[in-house]
């Protein structure tokens, strides 16, 4: 008998099943440095220990998105090894900051499933929780993924589509108690704009574009121990819809987030993803651009900071600063669809200092 696992298929991921994911991960200095080299992220909280300590933290924390990807990666062998695509996110909450030396483990529960009309795939919804070595919650998320069936002739009677919140509630936005922004130094960030300066409805174009390279997107997926076949197995994918490997969607989030530094320099950390969609695949050679729409300005129970609800949109091979891009269009059947140039639509909430801080 072959002892190697073939992963779970749609039929295996039954309602209520809890999966404790193997191989906990101790985060190292090398992980943090490699993440910077793959994304060029410039948010100083995650790369400047002196700045982080001036704000009350013990040192620079692990980048929010590096932590997200590590927790996500823990779940891949059990949830999405046989996935066609990761479709979206909801109710993603960033909890306790993680630091170098912390060990992260994760578990997931199946909270919804629905067979596709073609009968060869199905959508699985899971809630995944990431915990540190003290069992403190560092991240929790809901995601849904299109998973292959092992037996196309087996019809599932079970169909449950879970209800997900439109946004993460204010009570679930976690701000570290030790964080103090009263002495926030804009010379470190280079940013001019504070919470009060952003207007609801404002659009920020992030100007630059970044090409996705084959080696880089695969290196990023390896960093997160994301083993999904869609990102690696060129031989198996040569006759697939796209004929090649697709970039891990989370890498696109990281690239777009790194681009967003230009115009959002003073943002401290991500508090939540309210919802997100990978609306079109990204392939090696595509160039990513991004813009941000300000959706809401949120008062927190503190004098030194507020929150902004933002919509980060990434496009491929078209520059929205100089070329017209429609986020969505209506097809000939009256259905609203994302424009094919749009690869990411992420609704998220961030923490940012106030001028009065």
Mean pLDDT by 10 residues, the chain (357 residues): 88 96 97 96 97 97 98 94 86 97 98 88 96 98 93 77 94 95 94 97 97 93 90 83 86 97 98 94 96 98 96 98 94 91 97 85
Place of tokens 């995650």: 46
User: Alpha helices, DSSP H only, in the chain?
Assistant: 29-39, 49-54, 64-79, 186-189, 214-223, 234-237, 249-259
* CA–CA dist 223, 141 (Å, integer): 20
Q: CATH for 10-151+175-353? A: 3.10.129.10
Task: Look up residue 24 and give its two tokens.
Answer: 């906990």
Domain boundaries of the chain, sorted by first residue: 10-151+175-353
User: Whole-model pTM?
Assistant: 0.94
Predicted confidence at residue 357, as pLDDT, reads: 45
Predicted confidence at residue 83, as pLDDT, reads: 83
* 44 dihedral zone (left: phi>0; alpha: psi -120 to 50; beta): alpha
Angle at 338 between CA 272 and CA 125, to 5 degrees: 50
* CA–CA dist 311, 292 (Å, integer): 5
Q: Which of 247, 248, 240, 215 is closest to 73 using CA atoms? A: 248
Predicted confidence at residue 271, as pLDDT, reads: 98
**DSSP three-state, residue 232:** coil
């Amino acid at each position: 008998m072959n002892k190697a696992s073939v992963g779970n298929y749609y039929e295996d991921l039954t309602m209520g099943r809890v999966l404790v994911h193997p191989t906990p991960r101790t985060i190292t200095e090398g992980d943090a440095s490699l993440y910077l080299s793959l994304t060029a992220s410039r948010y100083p909280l995650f790369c400047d220990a002196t700045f982080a300590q001036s704000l009350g933290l013990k040192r620079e924390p692990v980048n929010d998105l590096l932590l997200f990807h590590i927790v996500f990666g823990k779940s891949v062998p059990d949830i999405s090894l046989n996935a066609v695509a990761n479709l979206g996110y909801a109710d993603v909450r960033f909890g306790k900051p993680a630091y170098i030396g912390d060990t992260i483990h994760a578990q997931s529960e199946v909270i919804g499933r629905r067979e596709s009309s073609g009968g060869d795939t199905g959508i699985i919804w899971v809630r995944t929780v990431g915990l540190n070595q003290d069992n403190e919650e560092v991240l929790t998320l809901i995601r849904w993924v299109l998973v292959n069936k092992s037996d196309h002739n087996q019809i599932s009677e079970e169909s449950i589509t879970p209800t997900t919140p439109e946004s993460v509630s204010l009570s679930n936005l976690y701000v570290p108690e030790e964080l103090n922004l009263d002495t926030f130094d804009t010379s470190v960030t280079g940013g001019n704009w504070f919470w009060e300066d952003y207007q609801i409805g404002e659009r920020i174009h992030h100007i630059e574009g970044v090409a996705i390279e084959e080696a880089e997107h695969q290196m990023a997926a390896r960093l997160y121990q994301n083993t999904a076949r869609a990102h690696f197995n060129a031989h198996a994918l040569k006759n697939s819809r796209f004929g090649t490997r697709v970039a891990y969607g989370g890498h696109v989030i990281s690239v777009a987030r790194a681009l967003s530094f230009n115009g959002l320099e003073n943002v401290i950390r991500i508090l939540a993803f309210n919802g997100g969609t990978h609306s079109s695949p990204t392939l090696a050679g595509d160039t990513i651009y991004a813009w941000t729409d300000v959706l809401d300005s949120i008062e927190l129970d503190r004098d030194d900071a507020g929150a902004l609800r933002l919509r980060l949109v990434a496009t491929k091979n078209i520059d929205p600063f100089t070329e017209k891009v429609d986020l969505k269009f209506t097809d000939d059947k009256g259905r609203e669809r994302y424009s094919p140039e749009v690869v990411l639509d992420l609704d998220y909430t961030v923490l940012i200092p106030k001028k009065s801080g």
